[in-house]
């Protein structure tokens, strides 16, 4: 049995090495050309991030278009929900206002839902969701921001955005210096799980590379005290891109220090105006394009390498720069599953509530 396991491990390692060599040659070919000055036709279009107009300038919702095609009704539902959230944010911010009222900027939120099927000694099915929202309240306190998200405090770069437990976290974010944020809030569960974190996350430009380091210290009732360091480097050659992301984390609940390493390469026609580190590392900022992601994870006290993961994804627009589709076949090899291949398929929707469709 031990000999069979070693043989299987050697086979998996050989496949991983060959797969890595092919991926390296692909990346080298994609980036071998000299990067030219940006040209509109040869660089990915930037999807409109969010409305820059104050909430007070937004129009009232249009009447429901009951005699219009179903797609127009879907657009109306998007705008109705977007405006409803903005009006409530404006009302709440006005409670703290002085005369004159400071303009309240539009709050943006993003909702993703994903159906997945995984073949692991039988096919299993599931539906996951991911939600993220930023609410700016300049009248409540200068530079104060509310946020709602299910991104984990200790999430490692390159992780699948749908692998988190899914509990929403509500909190307040305050920026003390240019690249230092302090968060405090609670997790939406019972009993309530409070948390606090401080994060340093600058953005550096190094020639043709964009570099995103980050260090954070956090405390949570469930996990206790912890820390995380992560690093992503990003390079574009026209519409082709390559990213490498590394991370390590430790908390009182983890088995030693856990680490991850991922590589991402692909081609993009459109990108989101997305500033979340996790979105960039996982490729979730790609609006219209395709890519290949390879990742490995492990820990200092457990197996040196606990899993390998490979996925191909394609993202594409479905409706007026707010509704996007994603299809992602994948395969995972886990140490605790004897390195058996686990094949999966994910199909889902990405919904942006950053502006009005009717503008």
Structure confidence at residue 29 (pLDDT): 44
Taking 50 as the pLDDT cut, the residues of the chain under it are 1-41
Structure confidence at residue 98 (pLDDT): 66
Structure confidence at residue 6 (pLDDT): 43
Structure confidence at residue 251 (pLDDT): 84
CA pair distance 42, 159, nearest whole angstrom:
29
Structure confidence at residue 26 (pLDDT): 42
Structure confidence at residue 8 (pLDDT): 38
Structure confidence at residue 100 (pLDDT): 57
Cβ-defined contacts of 69-74 (< 8 Å, 24+): 71/319, 74/319, 74/323
Structure confidence at residue 23 (pLDDT): 45
Structure confidence at residue 1 (pLDDT): 39
Q: Please write the tens of the pLDDT for every residue from 2-50.
A: 343 344 344 444 444 444 444 444 444 444 443 333 334 466 666 655 5
Domains and CATH numbers, the chain: 2-353 (2.40.160.40)
Specify whether the CB–CB gap between 108 and 115 falls below 8 A.
Answer: no
């Amino acid at each position: 049995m031990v000999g069979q396991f070693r043989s299987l491990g050697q086979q998996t390692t050989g496949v991983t090495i060959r797969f890595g060599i092919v991926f390296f040659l692909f990346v080298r070919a994609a980036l071998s050309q000299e990067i030219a000055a940006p040209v509109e036709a040869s660089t990915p279009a930037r999807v409109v991030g969010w409305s820059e107009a104050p909430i007070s300038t937004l129009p009232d919702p249009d009447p429901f278009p009951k005699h219009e095609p179903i797609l127009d009704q879907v657009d109306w539902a998007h705008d109705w929900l977007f405006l409803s959230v903005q009006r409530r944010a404006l009302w709440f911010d006005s409670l703290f206002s002085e005369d004159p009222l400071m303009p309240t900027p539009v709050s943006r939120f993003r909702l993703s839902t994903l159906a997945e099927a995984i073949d692991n000694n039988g096919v299993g099915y599931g539906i996951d969701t991911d939600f993220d929202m930023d609410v700016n309240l300049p009248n409540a306190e200068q530079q104060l921001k509310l946020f709602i998200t299910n991104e984990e405090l200790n999430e490692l770069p390159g992780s699948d955005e749908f692998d988190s437990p899914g509990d929403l976290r509500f909190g307040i974010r305050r920026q003390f210096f240019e690249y230092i944020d302090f968060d405090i809030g609670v997790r939406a569960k019972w009993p309530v799980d409070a948390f606090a974190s401080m994060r340093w996350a600058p953005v550096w430009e190094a020639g043709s590379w964009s570099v995103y380091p980050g260090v954070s210290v956090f405390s949570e009732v469930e996990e206790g005290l912890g820390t995380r360091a992560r690093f992503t480097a990003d390079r574009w050659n026209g519409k082709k891109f390559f990213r490498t992301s590394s991370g390590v984390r430790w908390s009182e609940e983890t088995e030693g220090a856990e680490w991850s390493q991922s590589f991402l390469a692909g081609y993009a026609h459109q990108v989101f105006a997305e500033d979340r580190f996790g979105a960039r590392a996982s490729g979730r900022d790609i609006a219209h394009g395709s890519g290949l992601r390879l990742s490995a994870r492990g820990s200092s006290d457990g197996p040196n390498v606990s899993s390998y993961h490979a996925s191909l994804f394609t993202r594409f627009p479905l409706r007026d720069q707010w509704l996007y589709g994603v299809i992602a076949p994948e395969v995972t090899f886990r140490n605790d599953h004897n390195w058996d291949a686990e094949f999966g398929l994910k199909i889902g929707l990405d919904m942006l509530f950053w502006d009005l469709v009717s503008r």
